[in-house]
Structure 1
């Protein structure tokens, strides 16, 4: 497997080098015949600001787009403010976790697929999105098991809620 990986890395390096040479030749030809427009086109500042220096924690700004971190922060804020009416509401939330985590994981899967086919990104980026998808799908299995853990840990409470003795109002008398 190590030899195959080394052979692939060598092949990829050769392909990148050949592509770089071909690209440089195209740029030289475009400069000679005046068809190179990159230096003549004015671009909005946020789009040409470039990547933030590595390790700074800064992000590159853009004028539009989907900001995953904003959706995630909204979910985090909702979790902080969450005040369930009762524990059965928490059980319902736990039951929905696998679907929610699958949706989040599918975001990474979609980004992996689109990075590989539609976006002008290198294969390594698509691979990272695919790895994130796989990792997040592992959390779905844990979330699937959470309902069983919840039901086992709170079996007597759930039984009293689902089948209250002498009605719900009478059962409330056991709440301490």
Structure 2
């Protein structure tokens, strides 16, 4: 009788633990869902913000141009406006003001069209990101780990040292430290070597991001870890993907900022030796 009561108590306890874990997993999934969505869509949103800023700058530039064009007619309007009122000719009244309104109105309409196209493109990019995430299973780490019915003793070979320090077979921190040391000791021969390094950054960061993706997948399907841990790896993967998008802009930015310097190397006038005549 006592044994039956004990088994019933253990079953009740295990059911309560399972229920608590389910609630915790659901709460963690809701918590990271919004952040993961923002990270995944960050590159498209950043590009849209840049495009909208360029559109606004173009609009204000056209407004300034309209003011310059309308200014002479506005001055002329001091003479033509009274004459137009007297003769009943509306086109002579305030010609500068009417020209300014016409030019700025056209610029405003074109800006609205550009902004609408930019927002549509961003929405399409967001939809594509959601679709890709769904296809790749990146929209959420599925709960694939089956929990044992009860505590399971660790029968695997211990990887702990005599002092209790666990040794990992995947020493990510050592590889990262080597990269940091290499960056500190980096001594490029010329700026073109730096350009090559900058243009290879997206590929390098993609490899680092894929490390986190692999860890997320294995934490979900192989390692005996909670769902929150796999979600954490997946969030890091998304954040690094955002860094890849920023790195992709570095190459064009570098080339734009040093256009003339790069041209001396990639397209020297009358050959590299002749280009050295500038002594720069």
- Partner in structure 2 of residue 46 of structure 1: 161
Correspondence for 1:123 = 227
CA distance in 2, matches of 1:154, 1:14: 56
- Are residues 1:142 and 2:246 paired? yes
Q: Distance in 2 between matches of 1:97 and 1:129?
A: 21
Change (3 A) 1:173 1:48: same
SS in 2 for 1:76: helix
* 2:186 aligned residue: 82
SS of equivalent to 1:88? helix
**1:175 corresponds to which residue?**
279
Quote how far apart the aligned CAs of 1:175 are.
2.9
Q: Distance in 1 between matches of 2:156 and 2:185?
A: 48
Residue 175 (structure 2) aligns with = 71
Q: What corresponds to 1:102 in structure 2?
A: 206
- Does 2:261 align with 1:154? no
Of the two, which has the highest radius of gyration? 2
Q: How many angstroms does 1:117 deviate by?
A: 0.4
User: Using the alignment, how far apart are the partners of 1:143 and 1:150 within structure 2?
Assistant: 11
**Structure 1 41/70 Cα, relative in aligned 2: closer, same or farther at 3 Å?**
closer
Tell me which residue corresponds to 2:20.
13
Structure 1 residues not aligned, in runs of 5+: 1-10, 28-35, 50-60
The number of residues matched between the two structures is: 141
TM-score by length of structure 1 reads 0.69
Structure 1 residues 76 and 169: alpha-carbon distance in aligned structure 2, compared to 1, 3 A threshold = same
Query: What is the CA distance between 1:43 and its match in structure 2?
Result: 5.2
Deviation at 1:163, TM superposition (A): 1.2
Q: Which has the higher contact order (CA 8 A, sep 6+)?
A: 2
Against the structure 1 CA distance between its residues 37 and 145, is the aligned structure 2 distance closer, same or farther, given a 3 Å change threshold? closer
Q: Against the structure 1 CA distance between its residues 12 and 146, is the aligned structure 2 distance closer, same or farther, given a 3 Å change threshold? A: farther
Q: Quickly say closer, same or farther: Cα 1:138–1:170, change in 2 above 3 A.
A: same
Distance of 1:48 and 1:117 partners within structure 2: 31
Instruction: List per-residue Cα deviations over 1:62-96 (Å, max 9, x = no partner).
Output: 23411101001101111111111111111111111
Specify which of 216, 226, 236 is matched with residue 132 of structure 1.
236
